[in-house]
Amino acid sequence: MQITSSDILLVIDVQNDFCPGGALAVPDGDAVIPVIHRLAPLFDHILLTQDWHSPHHASFAHAHAGKQAFETVAVSYGEQTLWPDHCVQGTRGAEFHPDLSLPQAELVLRKGFRPHIDSYSAFFENDRTTPTGLGGYLRERNISRVFAVGLAFDYCVAYSALDARTLGFEAVVIRDASRAIDLNGSATRMEAELARAGVPVINSTQLLD
């Protein structure tokens, strides 16, 4: 697989709260960082996303009386998983992991900042219809293929790759540059959805060798 100037590396949510010790720690989450650092020099374009929630965000369990984290609730746009408070705007947990060093990144896209709607994908909020603007940004800059890495494989990474396909971009997920939360089989389920959508899940060695 040859990387060209119409490819972009989409680095999803490599933030303290998704790394060991964080509020919604993804097992081994910080292990993605060295892999991302090895991949970065291959790309002319890099974009970072940052989960960026208001303090009483509707995706937080504490905002729903009687509900615990990792339960689900019915909301206007369907079913929403409830999470521990994480990536609250302006907090240390919302900062990028201190080891992540990608000063060449062209854009930091914040998402999940609207109090009443969650946003896993970098392209659409969880109603799957409200755009973040990223599709237009990439199109205007002649990007045609997105390589998704970061946290978490089975939520923000997979949804971003699936929505990229929906918008007509090619999308690839780099498995070893990502780690999963794996809630109730979500990792296996998302692998199947990616396959169905025509999103290859590759290993970084396929690009680096």
The sign of the torsion formed by the CA atoms of 24, 29, 32, 34 equals: positive
111 assigned to active site:
yes
Q: Is residue 13 annotated as part of the catalytic site, yes or no?
A: yes
**Euclidean distance between the first and final Cα of the chain, in Å?**
10
Q: How far apart are CA 89 and CA 86, in angstroms?
A: 9
Are 156 and 12 spatial neighbours (Cβ–Cβ below 8 Å)?
yes
Q: Decide whether 44 or 113 has the Cβ nearer to ligand VGL.
A: 113
Q: Give Rg (Cα) of the chain.
A: 16
Site for Zn ion (CB under 5 A): which residue of 30, 51, 85, 191?
Answer: 51
Query: For residue 34, what are the contacts with CB-CB under 8 A and spacing of at least 6?
Result: none
Is 87 a residue of the active site? no
**C-beta of 90 vs 168, nearer to Zn ion:** 90
Q: Is 13 in the site for Zn ion (CB under 5 A)?
A: no
38-46, 64-72, 132-140, 147-155 -> range binding ligand VGL (CB under 6 A): 147-155
Question: Pattern 17-56, binding to ligand VGL, x per CB under 6 A?
Answer: -x--------------------------------x-----
Residue 27 φ/ψ region, left for φ over 0, alpha for ψ in the -120 to 50 degree band, beta for the rest: beta
Q: How far is the CB of 90 from ligand VGL (least distance, A)?
A: 17
Instruction: Please choose which of ligand VGL, Zn ion, none residue 60 contacts, taking the beta carbon within 5 to 8 angstroms, the exact cut-off set by kind.
Output: none
Give the one entry of Zn ion, ligand VGL, none that residue 152 binds, where binding means its C-beta sits below a cut-off of 5 to 8 angstroms depending on kind: ligand VGL
Does position 125 bind Zn ion by CB under 5 A? no
> In 7-151, where do the E strands start and end?
7-12, 46-51, 72-75, 78-81, 107-111, 145-151
The bridge status of strand 46-51 relative to strand 72-75 is unpaired
What are the residues binding ligand VGL (CB under 6 A)?
13, 18, 51, 83, 120, 151-152, 155-156
